[in-house]
Structure 1
Amino acid sequence: MSLSSQGSAPWKFRGDATASIGAITAVEFDPDVELLWVCDAFGTLMSFSLQSQGQGEAPAWVNYSSFSVSSRPATSIFFLNIGGERMVTVADREVIRGYKRGGVLMMCLPQPTAVQSYIDLFQANNSTGTMFYTGNAGLTRLILNNQETDQLTVSVEATVVALKQCDQWVATGSASGAVCVRSASDLSVVGHVSPSRNRVMALEVFDNTVMVAYSEWSATSFVKVFDVRKMSEAVSTIQDIPSGNVTQMRRYQDGFGLSSDRAFLLSPGGFHIIQLDQEKPVFSSSPLSEGSCTAVAVSPSNMCAAIGNDKGTFYALAHPATRDDYVMSTFIQPVRPKHPVYHHSWEEPSIADGFDDSADLGTLASNWPEEDYMILTVPQKLRCVNYESHSIVPNEWGLMRADSCLPDPKDKLSSILPNPYPFNTQLGDDPACAQEALLELRKDLKRKHKSSRGGGGEYSPMEDSLQVCYSVQHKLDWRSYNEIAQRVIGIDNSFPECWITPLLQSLYLCQPPEFPIRKVILRHLCKREFCMTCEIAFIFANMLSTSASVLGMKGEALPPIVPVAHFIRAVRQIRAFTNAGVFQRPKSRDDAVAKMHMAQRLVLETLHKDLQDQKAYPFMNYEAPPEYEAAIAALFGTEFTSNGRVHIEPRFYWEVPGSALKVDEGLQHLLKQLEGYKDQVQIKRLPPIIVLLLNPEHSNLKPPTSLKISRAGKEDYNYVLNSNIVHLADDIEDTGNFVSQQRIKDDSFSLVNDYRVTAPMKMQELERLVPALRSYSAVVTFYALDNLTTPPYARLDDSRTPNLWHLLGPLLTNDVLSRPLLRDPAKQAFRSPLASYTEIRAGDLIAIDAEYVVLKWASRDEGSEMFYVSQRKPHMGLARVSCILSSKDGDERTIVDDYVHIPEEIEDYVTQYSGIHPGDLDPLESSKSLTSLKSTYLKLRALVDGGVVFVGHGLAQDFRVCNIVVPRKQIIDTLEIFHKPGSRYLSLRFLAYHVLGESVQEDEHDSIEDARTSLRLYRKYQQLKIEGTFESVLDHLMAKGAETSWYVPDTKSLFRDIPQTPPVSVMGSPVLEMGKTVTADDDKDVDTFAMAAVVAAATDGDDDDEDGDNDTPIASEVLEAVRKSMES
């Protein structure tokens, strides 16, 4: 588990332990003794204690007791006082039970059926002993009085999903968004919140405060804080919580009382910390290494916390002020009891008579007898000493001995601790020194933040934007990140080279509404494997498609962010960029600006070169318009006359002298210098688009919003500002970050910071967003003529992505781009079952699956011996794509099976999950149908433009790595179809086994097999929908998964020496049902031959792969091999 994410971590990781094979549904700290209680999905209650393992070893969690308490998962654990002793209290469906800590039943309180038929949500107050629960009749309050019960029931909404209580109040929340607060004494209503479009996910009630976590339709969450005395309006709102499924909320107080009350918010991807006086989460964790967060607890001292997940593991956390060897407290091993001794006299046995110190400690405490039961003792609370006044002060923070900065060398328990939290006197009294110290602190925090920056979270618009984890991009509320997604699309920043992307935005958005550069680049297409202009054209096409989805129906809108991984990878293969060292890590602020200037020059020069070379690398039958090869020179070049000859200078940028006080004066000076050569050179035409390289030393030369260039005896040129690429840095040593200011309409500009886009505003208002402590300098500026129009051949182009179906379609049956990568084209080339691409019709189903490998993304750092610097997030490279065409039920034709050439070094083939082996992607070794990444993209682009409907499992990830944007109306995702809101997503392997009766992904993943399985799942879904049984089948799937902990047996283990024994609850699944039939018929144990026959019967009906590449023997062949081995 990692706590390295947005914000400074308010907790430290303190180890973990596996408590169960099922999901953990509740965790709670014992209020009296040093035990952590855990309940799992099977209704088993367990307690754990921290015990030292030996000198130099970290303490470990040791199981103290374990016993079954409920027939269903318990979602909460309480500690009620009965007869002067605490009992662990949980609620079953029809009974409330209380246990001693060793598992002895102390209370069994059946639910009176006359009042409620069952118990749904349950809460109890550890102080007052009052219990509350909901059921079919409403909300019931239950009080124990001298072994008798006092009950009161009131009606509530039928859709109550959350219940919380405190000493004074009890609150309920419903799926409709309504919240009702009642008096804990008589259940009278004291306040309520009206229903809304948002669903209540969790509640917290304390003092006069109610916290409500809501889920929005946009898959994000927010928390509203109400005062019980005025529930009509919220006191505050905590927004932008990047998760639409808050599973639990737990409020706690800061251990030192330095901040306002805080709360844990659990979500499937991790957890968030919110603070009542803050508008955003103060911390968001990285996703758990495995599993989803399901339960959280905070100790009574607020110094410890525990989080459970759905894999049966709990994680222990501690306050960051504690030392590394911190434990909850000094644990005292309880005396081990033995069986009670029975006496034949009236004399009572002595206290020590029933215990044996030499007893075996390996047996669980649940085996202890009821007589002579003993609980743990609590050590005396420690005190603190104030060295300044030499006085002993109360231990207000609940500190333990391990928090001491002066540990006892003899390892003896000391009852007095030094004050671990002295006043901070480092800043001193000098304001200048204090400001310098704060600036250094900020730089240090920023360095730490960048080294471990993660997804989600809010940031200042002009700060370096955070990386958004691509796996959750489709779940975020993008309205808070991009306010004009219909015009500007953000760019992914997952790669360290993404600092170059402001240049792409400046090209894409230049001169609205004509956008001449965009329209020129979109017409480029060649057959070179690594072409920068082709990759930029693909990015621009994806931007247009995404904008079109935003302009359409709200439910069809795609996340306003596009990937640029293929562009970065292509540019890294171009010699001009590698020789110039553009992507080497900058050393300082000025070095970062110099690299941006260099990148601007190379991008424009490479665009010009690519357009000139297009005829030399023609793509099939595509022909560029006349005069297209000179389009970049016509837009950015200056036309000169020299000795009677007209030519265009290949420099597409102007460097403004650093000595210039104003931009226009600097340009006029440049023109005078050029015009000084009257006899040799004269300027005939200024460029329609001027690119200025400014402020190489981070000076404050500011570009005006308009520019007028006048020359004696010649026409004036009126330019308007289109974009500024701005660099921000703390000081000269800070490499900083780049953002851009883009003209949207007239004189309104938006700030574009990766995927963060502000609303259009005046330039003066935009400059107010600059942080006061950061230096700000415009380094690249685009000016365009106020009357600039689109080239004649592109004037009819609109703002939609060009449809390339008939241009790219032939690539599906004749991959001309793959031939240079094949050693033996006759054997390796993929043979399509289609005679022509026109056999594919709009609306046909295309089942798709992609496999990836992990790239070793190198970052050369001069002056360092390390060439490779590993990134926290792995960069995935597309390795294989398979597409299966289905025009009707039973039609499963493999039309694409591309192995993708990867020129970069591969760090991990992840063969078990990708099916890719070393050598498969190397043109010198591969025997597969290898092709280029560009060819695979163009095939998918053809299918998108052809109007097919893609079917797959988890398509968002596949499309992102494939660098393709697909409208939602052309996507059918079985991951979403077989999913109930608020529950976990089901794996393809689980669905295939329980829905289709097929076993997939047993050894290695195969993209053809996975694509075919997704297609069959969708066909099954259509059948169940027609029959009207889909919802019941889905409910059964969820129940089966919870019952078996989502276990899927490996049928291939039937042929191994040691067979795999699945849980009893899985025995009803298709393959094993056949096994039971064989057993019943033969009335004997199932031997190897019989089990092989079962699997053969279950799998012989599967069709073979259409491409014939599947070398795995089918079950009937295995059966025959087993038969021959037995005969011999």
Structure 2
Amino acid sequence: MTHRRGIPKWTIEYESKHAELILSEKIEGLQAIIQVPLSPANFLAGGYKKKLYFINAERGQVVDEFEIDVPVTVMRSSRSIYCGTAQGGVVFLDPKSFKLTHSIKASTYSIADMDAQGNYLITSGWEFRNHSIFYDHFISVFDIRTMKQLPPIPFLSGAIFVRIHPKVSTAALATTFNGQIHALSMINPEDVKYYTMAPSTYLQAMSLSPTGEAIALGEQSGTLQLWGNNDKPRFSQFPAPTEWPDVVPIEKTISINSDEPLNSIGMPYYREELLSSWPTHMIFEVGKPSLKVDPDILASVHKPENAKQHVWAHNPRRTRRYQAQKSEVVFAPIPRFRSGVNKYDTDGEALDLLDEEKVGMARYYKRVEIKYSKFGVEDFDFGYYNKTPFSGLETDIANSYCNSLLQVYHFITPLRKLAIHHAMSPCHEENCLFCELGFLSNNLLDARGANCQATNFLRTFRSLPQAAAMGLLIDEVGLRVNGPRNWLAVIQIFNRFMLDQIYSVTKNEISPLNPRNLMGSQVSTFSKCHCGHETDRTMDYFVFELNYPSRPPNIRHDPSPPGFATVIKNSIQRDGQAKAWCTPCHRYQIVHYRKQIYNLPPVLTFNANVRSSDHLSLYATKDWLPTRIGLSLKNARMNCVGPKELAKKGGKDRYYGYELTGIVVEIEPDKSDSHLISIVKVPEDELPLGASSPWYMFNDFLVRNIPEEEALTFAAWKVPAVFAYQRIDFDVEMSVNPMKRFHDLQVILTELRDSNNICTPLQPFETITKGIVVAIDSEFVSLEKEEIELHSSGKRNMIKPSRMSLARVSVIRGFGENEGTPFIDDYIATTEHIIDYLTDFSGIRPGDLTPGISAHPLISRKEAYRKLRLLVNLGCVFVGHGLKSDFRTMNINIPKEQVIDTVDLFFIQQRQRKLSLRFLAWFLLHSNIQTESHDSVEDAKTALLLYKKYLEYKDAGVLESMLMTIYEAGKKNNFRPPEVGKTEEVSGS
């Protein structure tokens, strides 16, 4: 019991003396409490224990208790005391003796709520149908004088709360769990007025003021909504002034930063010596704790019979001989940089430890971040986080929350093949997410476990105005642009948005299998208004929202929680009520609708739609989420069964087996820190040898093989967001390398982009085959500068690297009669703001990349990328200088055997210095390049000539001596070509 101002007055722990022994028990399981009508200073409480407790408010004690035959769920008082029971009845008690006077049956299962005013009693309840609990479709009305039931009020949505108006005894209010408010008449059930609120969660409470002018609605999230019939509703008949709390004076804030002097904070005045003022002779050096002895050593100790002999034990051989151990390091830290990888030889064991602060959560579930050393991002040790043949995705890009769902899409094999096929098809949509998904999937296949980026995909995603309108864009500091961040909601909206985008760009494709046939379900929605008007609408559904049955709030334990197959069935074929426009009625009405599905696609995706702890508790149940389900469709009626029933089905029933392919999960160790990961089941033909499980966890660039039990176990910190199921034994008979078609080759064979005739397109007789050599170089411009954090000590930390964009790419022949002639020299149109053209290093000048202004023919980034991807998939070998950083910026992964980097060919590991292209050209080719600015065609030719020189030295057997000569000459010239006019030290070729 609390005071009006919120101060607790008393709490009861009652000792029952009605038995032979004194039983000390807390009053538990209470569901209802009312004020005794004839004694306002006393209360009557009841619940599941089949007892009524008589409580005196002044003394704060239980004065008496009464037995009752049934559990009580709700209590009201008027002329009598009315107790709604868990068996669906209402018990009438005498307000003086508390003895049973009457009882009536109102619901078939349990009473949800009731109210009594004047001569009427109304109830809402639950009913048990088809092994599940549903809201009762009628509100029961009783006349208290005659104890007879009046005509019930139809309420198809199912009322959870009911109240009789205190001023008009024949009027009532009823609400549903999702916020629909109905104003009803007990005399004329047809007279109904509808109101709709927008709760963020389910309703948990409703109260009507004694004046009837205000309604208070409480949500499960703790939000309270107040509705009134005017701007200033009255809450009580005789209001009293509100007692406000005393105003607490605000203390002066203290600034804490490096520029604020410490003496501005001030210290308390004291007259005696402080306890912390210890004398020097009482301060001792404790020292480090001693090493713990290995338990295997203690177990093998041999005690001598003679006390003069030594105690000895077997050496378990866990360390090398005479090797000292550091006692202050409890466990090796996670290495960040390759330059420090030998400091702690952890081999990944630090990731196996449980985080003590996060209950039961392994470290590899925590958010991972890229750190930058003085050597740049190339020094970051991505290999420590991924020792599998499957590539992760980096996080230092805006909107990288998409990584988790992109990995799930990648491992849906039919979707992956369609995406790759579409990416290399003649798609005229400049900002096509399906093309970018295909390019990304190709990168993940070629990377073979190396880290990848979704830069091009996310850049295209960021350019779509629909994504911004739906609130899917995340700014650089990780805050949501259009409101607070909710990763579960964001990734589910992105899932629907992404599949809708794929459908919109491929709906006109004429193909036996396209994304619509692969993932789309044709669903009709039939609606009927109470006036009799019917409508129907047919749409393609690519994502289904899971719809969980509601558990009655007054039922503590659901006797039969629904299975996952039942939830799937009810989510696809839904029946219910919603507010929609009715043309004959000329207004919005509550209509009854039902959905009907006509086809079962090979791939089904579901948004988990977990909104409450009740939903999450289903997933926490062992084996609730099955790895396989069976779906059948007969006469437009769908049925779903679990794995056990699927194995038994046969004969006339045709069930398609579906296997769980991927899950997107939100990891939330605490409220202030959450992120998304994906858990996928790798197809059997892609599993590496020795894999303990087909399940892999992708935490951005951290990839790990996990057991199936861990993959399907959920907790409060691990909440599912998206599921993907794929039909068993279904595959797409489509080549992963469809780019060898004649049309795609014609793009390079016949197109001429350069107006100055620098570029000579490939001729029909110049056949590109696997292993053919081409030279490549590219130029870039800067879109964003790097962010540097400066410390007072002078230390510099890179917070965020610069963002570059491809400006020009040149590819020259390394074969045939036209060797050294470029066949690709493209300038890429850029509509984003360029902060630095880097003209000294790129040769790109302002206006060169602006459509309508540039003197060069411009192409889109996607078109240039398609050409390079075609050459990669045809098996070309790329020669260039510093290709690793170029390919990273272009966001393309090329197999190592198809890359020849001259910066690595002319490199001595012990010297730890890599030579520039300009210096190598001066020393080996006797040519001065890059004198004014860079030119990608010139640089590509130079790299090709250096490769020829390398082969020449290697065949002659003088490569090692030439490398030493090059480094000696570089040391004398500071690894730079001498200025024109000075003496040049050049070795002969």
TM-score by length of 2: 0.53
CA deviations over 1:221-270 (Å, ceiling 9, x no partner): xxxxxxxx9897635999xxxxxxxxxxxx999xxx96589999999x75
Greater mean alpha carbon deviation, residues 881-890 or residues 1027-1036: 881-890
Contact 2:737 2:873 in 1 (8 A): no
The structure number with the bigger radius of gyration is 2
Paired position in structure 1 for 2:707: 761
Q: Counterparts of 1:938-977 in structure 2 under 5 Å?
A: 938-977=866-905
Q: Distance in 2 between matches of 1:650 and 1:693?
A: 12
Tell me how far 1:520 sits from its aligned partner: 2.3
Contact 1:853 1:878 in 2 (8 A): yes
Aligned to 1:565, which of 447, 450, 455?
455
Contact 2:786 2:802 in 1 (8 A): no
Judging changes above 3 Å, is the alpha-carbon distance between structure 1 residues 924 and 696 closer, same or farther for their aligned structure 2 residues? farther
Aligned to 2:722, which of 780, 796, 818?
780
1:810 aligned counterpart, secondary structure: helix
CA deviations over 1:744-791 (Å, ceiling 9, x no partner): 2588421112232222521x23467x9x9x82211111123445x23x
Contact 2:546 2:567 in 1 (8 A): no
Contact 2:837 2:845 in 1 (8 A): yes
Paired position in structure 1 for 2:167: none
1:537 counterpart = 2:438: yes
CA deviations over 1:156-188 (Å, ceiling 9, x no partner): xxxxxxxxxxxxxxxxxxxxxxxxxxxxxxxxx
Q: Counterparts of 1:86-101 in structure 2 under 5 Å?
A: none
Contact 1:805 1:945 in 2 (8 A): no
CA deviations over 1:873-907 (Å, ceiling 9, x no partner): 11221111111113259831121111111222223
Contact 2:543 2:607 in 1 (8 A): no
CA deviations over 1:687-718 (Å, ceiling 9, x no partner): 44332222454742524433456889856445
Identity %: 24
* Amino acid of the structure 1 residue aligned with 2:430: E
Paired position in structure 2 for 1:499: 401
Judging changes above 3 Å, is the alpha-carbon distance between structure 1 residues 263 and 230 closer, same or farther for their aligned structure 2 residues? farther
1:758 aligned counterpart, secondary structure: strand
Contact 1:611 1:628 in 2 (8 A): no
Paired position in structure 2 for 1:726: 665
Paired position in structure 2 for 1:578: 468
Contact 2:521 2:542 in 1 (8 A): yes
Paired position in structure 1 for 2:391: 489
Judging changes above 3 Å, is the alpha-carbon distance between structure 1 residues 235 and 576 closer, same or farther for their aligned structure 2 residues? farther
Judging changes above 3 Å, is the alpha-carbon distance between structure 1 residues 582 and 809 closer, same or farther for their aligned structure 2 residues? same
1:908 aligned counterpart, secondary structure: coil
2:978 aligned counterpart, secondary structure: coil
CA deviations over 1:652-689 (Å, ceiling 9, x no partner): 33243495765444334335633999998533334443
* Amino acid of the structure 2 residue aligned with 1:518: R
Judging changes above 3 Å, is the alpha-carbon distance between structure 1 residues 574 and 885 closer, same or farther for their aligned structure 2 residues? same
Judging changes above 3 Å, is the alpha-carbon distance between structure 1 residues 647 and 527 closer, same or farther for their aligned structure 2 residues? same
Q: Distance in 2 between matches of 1:679 and 1:666?
A: 18
Q: Distance in 1 between matches of 2:978 and 2:315?
A: 55
Q: Any unmatched runs of 5+ in structure 2? A: 1-258, 260-290, 292-313, 527-533, 552-560, 578-590, 620-624, 641-656, 685-692, 788-797
Q: Distance in 2 between matches of 1:726 and 1:897?
A: 44
* Amino acid of the structure 2 residue aligned with 1:775: W
Judging changes above 3 Å, is the alpha-carbon distance between structure 1 residues 280 and 681 closer, same or farther for their aligned structure 2 residues? closer
CA deviations over 1:104-157 (Å, ceiling 9, x no partner): xxxxxxxxxxxxxxxxxxxxxxxxxxxxxxxxxxxxxxxxxxxxxxxxxxxxxx
Aligned to 1:652, which of 543, 546, 549?
543
Aligned-residue Cα RMSD (Å) equals 4.6
CA deviations over 1:996-1026 (Å, ceiling 9, x no partner): 1222223322111111111111111222223
Paired position in structure 2 for 1:903: 831
Paired position in structure 1 for 2:955: 1026
Contact 2:759 2:821 in 1 (8 A): no
Aligned to 2:520, which of 623, 636, 641?
636
1:972 aligned counterpart, secondary structure: strand
1:517 counterpart = 2:415: yes
CA deviations over 1:373-409 (Å, ceiling 9, x no partner): xxxxxxxxxxxxxxxxxxxxxxxxxxxxxxxxxxxxx
* Amino acid of the structure 2 residue aligned with 1:516: P
1:595 counterpart = 2:490: yes
Paired position in structure 2 for 1:692: 606
Paired position in structure 1 for 2:696: 750
Paired position in structure 1 for 2:914: 985
2:910 aligned counterpart, secondary structure: coil
1:809 aligned counterpart, secondary structure: helix
Contact 2:525 2:593 in 1 (8 A): no
Contact 2:750 2:761 in 1 (8 A): no
Judging changes above 3 Å, is the alpha-carbon distance between structure 1 residues 468 and 884 closer, same or farther for their aligned structure 2 residues? farther
Contact 1:751 1:757 in 2 (8 A): yes
Q: Distance in 2 between matches of 1:994 and 1:496?
A: 43
Q: Distance in 2 between matches of 1:720 and 1:593?
A: 23
* Amino acid of the structure 2 residue aligned with 1:779: A
Judging changes above 3 Å, is the alpha-carbon distance between structure 1 residues 751 and 460 closer, same or farther for their aligned structure 2 residues? same
Tell me how far 1:974 sits from its aligned partner: 0.8
Judging changes above 3 Å, is the alpha-carbon distance between structure 1 residues 830 and 925 closer, same or farther for their aligned structure 2 residues? farther
Greater mean alpha carbon deviation, residues 679-688 or residues 894-903: 679-688
Tell me how far 1:645 sits from its aligned partner: 9.2
Tell me how far 1:727 sits from its aligned partner: 0.7
Q: Distance in 2 between matches of 1:682 and 1:260?
A: 61
TM-score by length of 1: 0.46
Judging changes above 3 Å, is the alpha-carbon distance between structure 1 residues 696 and 924 closer, same or farther for their aligned structure 2 residues? farther
Paired position in structure 1 for 2:744: 808
1:1001 aligned counterpart, secondary structure: coil
Q: Counterparts of 1:650-1049 in structure 2 under 5 Å?
A: 650=541, 652-657=543-548, 659=550, 663-671=564-572, 673-674=574-575, 682-697=596-611, 699=613, 700=616, 701-702=618-619, 703-708=625-630, 716-717=639-640, 718-734=657-673, 736-745=674-683, 748-762=694-708, 764-766=709-711, 775-786=717-728, 789-790=730-731, 794-795=732-733, 797=734, 800-804=736-740, 806-815=742-751, 827=755, 831-836=759-764, 838=766, 840=768, 842-856=770-784, 872-887=800-815, 891-983=819-911, 984-1049=913-978
Q: Counterparts of 1:468-479 in structure 2 under 5 Å?
A: none
Contact 2:542 2:604 in 1 (8 A): no
Judging changes above 3 Å, is the alpha-carbon distance between structure 1 residues 523 and 463 closer, same or farther for their aligned structure 2 residues? same
Tell me how far 1:534 sits from its aligned partner: 0.9
Q: Distance in 2 between matches of 1:465 and 1:975?
A: 31
* Amino acid of the structure 1 residue aligned with 2:723: T
CA deviations over 1:47-92 (Å, ceiling 9, x no partner): xxxxxxxxx9xxxxxxxxxxxxxxxxxxxxxxxxxxxxxxxxxxxx
* Amino acid of the structure 1 residue aligned with 2:608: L
Contact 1:532 1:567 in 2 (8 A): yes
Tell me how far 1:806 sits from its aligned partner: 3.3
Tell me how far 1:810 sits from its aligned partner: 1.7
- Name the count of aligned residue pairs: 591
Q: Any unmatched runs of 5+ in structure 1? A: 1-55, 57-206, 208-228, 239-250, 284-435, 444-458, 548-558, 615-624, 819-824, 860-869, 1055-1060, 1074-1097, 1099-1128
Q: Distance in 2 between matches of 1:591 and 1:281?
A: 32
2:598 aligned counterpart, secondary structure: strand
Aligned to 2:365, which of 438, 441, 462?
462
CA deviations over 1:1051-1091 (Å, ceiling 9, x no partner): 3xx5xxxxxx7xxxx75237xx9xxxxxxxxxxxxxxxxxx
Q: Distance in 2 between matches of 1:949 and 1:528?
A: 30
Q: Counterparts of 1:42-57 in structure 2 under 5 Å?
A: none
Contact 2:543 2:606 in 1 (8 A): no
Contact 1:741 1:751 in 2 (8 A): yes
Q: Distance in 1 between matches of 2:452 and 2:336?
A: 29
